[in-house]
Amino acid sequence: MVLWEGRFKKGIDSRTNDFNSSIKFDYRMYKEDILGSIAHAKMLGKQDIISKEESDKIVDELNNILNDIEDGKLEIDFNAEDIHMFIETELTKRIGDTGKRLHTARSRNDQVALDIRMYLRKEIVEIKDDLKKLIHVFLDKALNNLDIVMPGYTHLQHAQPITYAHYMMAYVEMFLRDLDRLEDSYRRLNIMPLGSAALASTTYNIDRNFVKQELDFSDVTKNSLDGVSDRDFVLDLAYTLSLMMIHMSRFSEEVILWTSSEFKFIELDDSFSTGSSIMPQKKNPDITELVRGKTGRIIGDLNTLLVMMKGLPLAYNKDMQEDKEAIFDAIDNTKMCINILIPMVDTYKILKDNMLDKAKIGFINATDCADYLVKKGMPFRQAYKIVGSIVSYCIDNNKILETLSLDEYKKFNDNFDKDIYEYIDLKNCVEKRNVIGGPSSKQVKKRIDEVLNILN
């Protein structure tokens, strides 16, 4: 069945049909297409645009088609142009001319816009649930490791002492922002476009608010041109997924570093590692390398969507068919990455002694040493210079701040006393940072409890 056969004198070339076809990727919207059509048919009957009997017949058969697809009794025909035509053709095959009345007062343009909004709405809910599971794993790791001291880094150089729990909670904050962006994306896409028709709405007495309520949208689009040509909501979600992947990629990069012999902070479970075909000793973090790689792919999907939309005139253009492959790919791969990171993080082992040993080198308590002098009344810049000289002395003499004698300290400044050792103890350095957002166990535990309340 060709929709425009009345206008054309020649049949469509098979190559044109193949090039135009989108069913190989839009088939996944079959349920949304059917549910949208059911709501539309109900509205047509309610408004006496078609008879109530015809409306009921269409609705009943659409439900049968949905059940048959989900039960495996009806296979989707991938020779059809798209999922919308497949459903309509199957409906007409089953109930004859009554099925042809379904498309009254709508266009494929607003039908497609409706289906993609409904489909992305469903996917956002699933991604949010997956992301919450990942956050819970990070929270568990943090809660069970509140007192494990490790070096914090800037420029990938030892900087100041933190805890492993504080480190994990940094990623929790990123993921919470991702959740917020997902919710914001949902809010913006949850607007019902059906009734825009091709671009200029319709002359039929339709009830858009009825369809909105049937399909649980929060509002209807306010401009028919925009209703069929808007893909901001697809871009919103693609950006949100790209940023979420960037967060997972940053974590993955650190897992790759931390499993190396140079760091040896964590050890991956055998079931979430791979080996080498030639080197028997290898244990590779392939999962995190793939997450890192797929991040580039999903950023590419976002770029595809941005470039696709940048020069399109109003209203609908066939270019917009390209939105689905890109956003579907971004969704599929993001979900895949989240769901493999969950068990990987849950099962890896934290090598806390190695973390502490690494924290003891690199003078990460030097700032605390300077703060010690400041609290004795010295200006910070003067204290900074004195401690810098102490560090230089330690490097020359193969010592660390904890192993300097009190006499050595006093050579640099008389304000040093025996309490300096307690002040620069690594665990004390962490616990003294008892401010909101700081790494002290009290503050981290408080934030864990807050996040658990947010998630619940």
Q: Strands, E, within 206-260: which ranges?
A: 219-220
Give the chain's end-to-end CA distance (angstroms, integer): 51
Report the distance separating Cα 215 and Cα 212, nearest Å. 5
Residue among 260, 276, 389, 392 flagged as catalytic: 276
**Prior bond to 165 cis, omega within 30?**
no
103 tagged catalytic: no
Residue among 155, 261, 277, 405 flagged as catalytic: 155
Residues 6+ apart with CB under 8 A from 318: 20
DSSP-assigned letters across all residues of 325-357 = HHHHHHHHHHHHHHHHHHHHHHHPEE-HHHHHH
* Tokens of residue 272, six digits: 């979430």
Q: What angle is formed at CA 262 by the lines to CA 273 and CA 437, rounded to 5 degrees?
A: 85
247 tagged catalytic: no
Q: Strands, E, within 222-359: which ranges?
A: 266-267, 349-350
Report the distance separating Cα 441 and Cα 434, nearest Å. 8
Single-letter code of the amino acid located at 309: M
Mapped onto helix, strand or coil, the DSSP state of residue 94 is helix
Q: Which residues are catalytically annotated?
A: 155, 276
